[in-house]
Chains A and B, each alone.
Chain A
Amino acid sequence: MDRSKKESTMARFKKEFTKGLIISNPVFVLVLGLCPTLAVSTSIDNALGMTLAVLIVLLGSNIIISAIGRFVPNITRIPIFIVIIATLVTVVNLLFHANLPDTYESLGIFLPLVVVNCIILGRAEAFASKNSVVYSIADALGITVGFMLALLMLSFIRQVLGTGSLTAFGIHCFTLPVLGEHPISIFILPAGAFLVIGLLMALFKRTGVIKND
């Protein structure tokens, strides 16, 4: 009895985790948090920095909100959620400023803007406030990994085509033969972000990775 319950918990944990990767990928399927996705996908470094920030905030807010969600009356639900999220974001902001100054600089206002990232409030409302702490952790991890996959895809394409080379964490990985001299700068410009996400989304629809609406 106890054992089968434990197994089903594991199975459910796995299910909540994997759904965030593709089936309800926050960027390509739920289309949440577009602003940071497009803005910070200019380099792999920025993408990973943003992922780290989202991971800490989403994990924290999902844990806290799933733990206290029951005691929060409906009328103050949103204000309380917002205060919790804003506090976590400020903590991340200060920690990044102190320990990862370069990432802090290049993320700019998109680090504090994690507060209004629809992914976080969306998960708090739609999932964490109704589910247990354990599943909320699974949900947070899954959504973050899904977010990271999308960000890495976008930033890899944009950085490689837009600068002609790939540098991550100060390590130079490779330079493309012709593009290294003449990079296609449009990919690194804001316009490039719209182009790449539009084409990727169409590609995923065409190949059936994500369902049509």
Chain B
Amino acid sequence: MTNLVAIFLGMALINNFILVRFLGLCPFFGVSKKTNSAVSMGVAVTLVMTISSLATWLIRHYILIPYDAEYMDIVIYILVIATLVQIVELFIKKTNLELYNAFGIYLPLITTNCAVLGITLINATQGYSLSGSIVAALGGGVGFTLVLLMMSGIREKLELADTPKSMKGLPIAFITAMLLSLAFIGFGGMI
């Protein structure tokens, strides 16, 4: 149990996906202009990460390892993720149109989000158990959403601030990310 808590905190805060591991930066800078879309994106990514972790763990331990085909992992994982994203998108579209309008549009973008393939590869290299993998995915997703949300809040305010012309847009967003990243180093002493 303490192990799972450590995995969760490690993934969410200490080795934060965006600020420390540099995973999922494209949506980070693309979507983090508005708080609403940031939350939707974060939830969508967390959902896909968790389901993918479950699916790839089962495939890895019941198909790839028994048949000695671990070298195929990248191809299999990316196909699984692409398929899952499609299924989740269809499912949400059919069951809850409101939810679909809120974050369904972000789902297709997630296939090529490195956070999702990243978590499946991290689970494999760290040798996490099934529960460990799922907790790691949840932790990673929560950390991702948290930082996305913080960043969007700051950027909404930054729009009104008097930034130098050449720093407007992405450059100042990078500098903000640097300050957040520095702050997150402090979590290193937690465990």
Residues of A at the B interface (CB closer than 8 Å) are 31-32, 34-36, 38-39, 78-79, 82-83, 86-87, 89-90, 93-94, 108-109, 112-113, 115-118, 121, 186, 189-195, 197-199, 201-203, 205-206, 212-213
Contacts and interface: CB of A to CB of B under 8 A. Distances in A.
Contact of B166 (A117, A189, A195, A202): A202
B26 A34 contact: yes
A190 B117 CA distance: 20
8 contacts: A35-B114, A39-B22, A186-B182, A190-B181, A191-B185, A198-B175, A199-B171, A201-B170
Contacts of A90: 71-72, 74-75
Nearest to B16: A190
Interface of B: 19-26, 29, 71-75, 78-79, 82, 111-114, 116-118, 121-122, 125, 164-167, 169-175, 177-179, 181-182, 185
A31 B174 CA distance: 12
B21 A39 contact: yes
Chain A binding site: helix, strand, loop or mixed by DSSP?
helix
Contacts of B19: 190-191
A89 B79 CA distance: 14
Nearest to A84: B75
A35 B169 CA distance: 18
Given A34-B22, A89-B74, A202-B166, A83 B182 contact: no
A116 B116 CA distance: 10
Contacts of A197: 174
A112 B75 CA distance: 10
Contacts of A206: 166
A194 B174 contact: yes
B29 A34 contact: yes
Contacts of B175: 194-195, 198-199
Nearest to B28: A34
Contacts of B25: 34-35, 38
A34 B25 CA distance: 6
Nearest to B172: A198
Nearest to A200: B171
A35 B26 contact: yes
B191 to A, nearest CB: 18
B75 A205 contact: no
A213 B22 contact: no
Contact of B112 (A87, A116, A194): A116
Given A83-B79, A94-B71, A112-B117, 11 more contacts: A39-B21, A78-B82, A83-B75, A112-B73, A113-B23, A113-B114, A116-B116, A190-B181, A191-B19, A191-B182, A198-B167
A208 B112 CA distance: 31
A23 B177 CA distance: 26
B56 to A, nearest CB: 13
Given A112-B121, A190-B181, A199-B171, A35 B75 contact: no
Nearest to A34: B25
A195 B178 contact: yes
Residue among A116, A117, A197 facing the most chain B CB atoms (10 A cut-off): A116
B23 A35 contact: yes
B22 A190 contact: yes
Contacts of A94: 71
Contact of A205 (B26, B166, B173): B166
B78 A82 contact: yes
A77 to B, nearest CB: 12
A157 to B, nearest CB: 14
Contacts of A203: 166
A38 B22 contact: yes
